[in-house]
């Protein structure tokens, strides 16, 4: 029965020498959401919460569609039928459905109805002695009857009509005579309609609210807000974004052109002992180019996904530097970390130098090696920590080089952070720590 009616079913009986009822049996539907957390069998039932049950038992009549409150405070709809044996009422069969959502919807509808009634009354009796409230509203406002005829307009509405149509806004004319394109909004089935629309080279947000009294449509409240400035700013922002992307694209192409020239020079007449320096310079240029590649491939913003960037640089370095070695590089970087491009370039250059250092110096005595790159963010202090750990010979420092000067200068001056290299049981650990709280 519970599944058939999609209701909770109970049998209640009177307690001996008491005015209360007790639940003696229950059936729970398998397809409905839980109404009771626990079984209610043996629990008392009180008249103030379920009056329909008591009335049905006392009068020996059925009760349909009555509201009640459960022991757990849920509002339910009850249908009650007395149970009789040999003509005597001995209990009640009760079917309950949860109507909490229905009650909330009814309350919302009531509030909306009261609000629209209040608005309707507001427009019927404007005071001539004081500033009428709608005239204080910055939006153009029109009160229409059910035939779309203007019954009221505020000062802003009068001005917008004059500016857009070169007409005077008068009462008792159809709003469609002023704005013919508004018919699709007024005929929309929704109670509240919000649309953006261009009118004579200007942009407006149009709101239309249906007004009801006693659930009967009595009119419309239409509001127009000039959003031209916001649209122009949005347009300018899009143009700026496109321009920035074009700059990024050109910078990337120029860097790749320089890289191609360096490669060409290396193939021509560069002494063998100098090629190493050319390769380092080439890697630095490609490292910066990688920042712009990531920006262009991922979003329209000027922010870079650091995980994508570091992995791109690390993989490229391992591929180009380890022809005679087998070096594995792995990453532990939060995929949701982003930095603006000017900081991303600094982090990328440091990452390039420390990974290059490990590849060139850590594995001279071994044909195999491992490099682990981690980048973590501590939100409370807004601290970023980049670590590059290798399992090489562990000198614990760079040989004095231009690369070390680059790393130290960038860490201190560009990132306002600190950089250090230490030797540990695994090998060499290079660590960069800097703070960035956002712009």
Q: Are residues 375 and 346 part of one domain?
A: yes
Please check whether residue 160 lies inside any domain of the structure.
yes
Are the beta carbons of 175 and 153 closer than 8 angstroms? no
The tokens describing 283, both together, are: 């890697």
Please check whether residue 126 lies inside any domain of the structure.
yes
Please check whether residue 425 lies inside any domain of the structure.
yes
Neighbours of 208 (CB within 10 A): 23
Residue with tokens 């640089």: 313
Q: Are residues 291 and 399 part of one domain?
A: yes
Q: Which ranges of 193-325 does DSSP label H, i.e. alpha helix?
A: 228-268, 272-298, 306-321
Bridge-partner residues for 206, per DSSP?
A: 195, 224
Q: Are residues 114 and 92 part of one domain?
A: no
Please check whether residue 156 lies inside any domain of the structure.
yes
Q: Are residues 272 and 421 part of one domain?
A: yes
**How many Å apart are CA 379 and CA 331, to the nearest integer?**
20
pLDDT computed for residue 131 by the predictor: 44
Q: Are residues 295 and 409 part of one domain?
A: yes
Residues 6 or more apart from 155 whose CB is under 8 A from it? 135
Domain boundary among 204, 226, 248: 226
Residue with tokens 């040999």: 86
Which domain, by its residues, includes 44? 2-98
pLDDT computed for residue 108 by the predictor: 61
- In the chain, the number of structural domains is 3
- Return averaged pLDDT per consecutive 10 residues of the chain, 439 residues in all: 69 80 82 70 82 86 80 78 84 83 68 59 52 62 89 85 82 87 88 87 89 83 89 77 69 80 78 77 79 70 83 85 77 88 86 85 80 91 91 62 79 90 88 86
Are the beta carbons of 352 and 283 closer than 8 angstroms? yes
Q: C-alpha distances in angstroms, 113 versus 51, 192, 218, 413, 418?
A: 30, 13, 11, 64, 64
Q: Which of 175, 163, 171 is nearest to 223 (CA)?
A: 175
Domain boundary among 226, 254, 281: 226
pTM above 0.75, yes or no: no
Please check whether residue 50 lies inside any domain of the structure.
yes
**How many Å apart are CA 156 and CA 254, to the nearest integer?**
54
pLDDT computed for residue 332 by the predictor: 92
Please check whether residue 103 lies inside any domain of the structure.
no
Domain boundary among 168, 198, 226: 226
Q: What angle do CA 118, 122, 124 make, to 5 degrees?
A: 120
Q: Which of 303, 205, 290 is nearest to 251 (CA)?
A: 290
pLDDT computed for residue 128 by the predictor: 46
Q: Are residues 317 and 221 part of one domain?
A: no
Q: Are residues 150 and 263 part of one domain?
A: no
Check which CATH number belongs to the domain holding 175 and give it. 3.30.450.20
Kind of pairing between the strands at 368-378 and 326-333: parallel
Please check whether residue 62 lies inside any domain of the structure.
yes
Q: Which of 427, 418, 333 is nearest to 371 (CA)?
A: 427
pLDDT computed for residue 291 by the predictor: 75
Q: What burial class does residue 57 get, using C-beta atoms within 10 Å of its C-beta: 0-12 exposed, 13-18 middle, 19+ buried?
A: buried
Q: Are residues 193 and 261 part of one domain?
A: no
pLDDT computed for residue 417 by the predictor: 92
Check which CATH number belongs to the domain holding 55 and give it. 3.30.450.280
Q: Are residues 129 and 80 part of one domain?
A: no
Please check whether residue 127 lies inside any domain of the structure.
yes
Secondary structure of residue 352 in the 3-state scheme: helix
Check which CATH number belongs to the domain holding 321 and give it. 3.30.565.10
Q: C-alpha distances in angstroms, 281 versus 11, 30, 254?
A: 87, 71, 15
pLDDT computed for residue 301 by the predictor: 67
Q: Are residues 282 and 222 part of one domain?
A: no
Q: Are residues 340 and 243 part of one domain?
A: yes
DSSP for 138-179, please give it: SSEEEEE-TT-BEEEE-HHHHHHHHHHHSS---TTSBHHHH-
pLDDT computed for residue 272 by the predictor: 77
Q: Are residues 236 and 212 part of one domain?
A: no
DSSP for 370-406, please give it: EEEEEEEEETTTTEEEEEEEE-S----SPPS-HHHHH
């Amino acid at each position: 029965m519970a599944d058939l009616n999609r209701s909770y079913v109970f049998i209640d009986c009177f307690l001996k020498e008491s005015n209360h009822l007790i639940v003696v049996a229950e059936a729970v539907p398998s397809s409905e959401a839980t109404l009771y957390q626990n079984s209610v069998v043996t629990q008392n039932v009180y008249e103030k919460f379920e009056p329909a049950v008591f009335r049905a038992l006392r009068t020996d009549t059925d009760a349909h569609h009555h509201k009640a409150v459960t022991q757990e405070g849920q509002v339910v709809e009850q249908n009650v039928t007395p149970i009789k044996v040999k003509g005597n009422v001995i209990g009640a069969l009760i079917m309950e459905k949860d109507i909490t959502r229905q009650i909330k919807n009814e309350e919302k509808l009531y509030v909306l109805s009261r609000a629209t009634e209040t608005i309707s009354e507001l427009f019927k009796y404007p005071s001539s002695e004081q500033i009428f409230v709608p005239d204080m509203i910055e939006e153009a406002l029109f009160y229409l009857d059910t035939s779309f005829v203007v019954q009221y307009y505020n000062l802003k509405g009068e001005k917008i009509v004059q500016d857009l149509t070169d007409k005077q806004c008068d009462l008792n004319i159809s709003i469609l005579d002023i704005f013919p394109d508004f018919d699709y909004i007024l005929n929309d089935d929704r109670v509240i309609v919000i649309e953006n629309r261009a009118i004579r080279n200007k942009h407006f947000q149009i709101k239309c609210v249906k007004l009801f009294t006693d659930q009967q449509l009595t009119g419309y409240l239409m509001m127009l807000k000039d959003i031209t400035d916001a649209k122009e700013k949005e347009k300018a922002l899009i143009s700026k974004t496109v321009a920035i992307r074009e700059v990024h694209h050109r910078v990337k192409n120029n860097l790749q052109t320089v890289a191609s020239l360096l490669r060409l020079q290396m193939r021509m007449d560069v002494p063998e002992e100098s090629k190493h320096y050319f390769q380092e310079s080439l890697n630095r240029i490609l490292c910066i180019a990688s920042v712009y590649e990531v920006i262009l491939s991922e979003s329209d913003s000027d922010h870079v996904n650091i995980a994508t960037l570091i992995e791109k640089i690390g993989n490229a370095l391992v591929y180009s530097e380890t022809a005679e070695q087998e070096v594995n590089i792995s990453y532990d970087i939060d995929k949701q970390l982003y930095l603006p491009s000017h900081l991303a370039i600094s982090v990328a250059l440091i990452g390039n130098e420390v990974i290059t250092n490990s590849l060139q110096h850590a594995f001279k005595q071994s044909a195999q090696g491992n490099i682990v790159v981690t980048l973590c963010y501590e939100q409370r202090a807004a601290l970023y920590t980049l670590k590059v750990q290798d399992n090489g010979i562990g000198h614990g420092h760079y040989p004095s080089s231009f690369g070390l000067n680059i790393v130290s200068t960038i860490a201190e001056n560009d990132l306002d952070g600190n950089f250090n290299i230490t030797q540990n049981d695994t090998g060499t650990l290079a660590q960069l720590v800097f703070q960035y709280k956002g712009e």
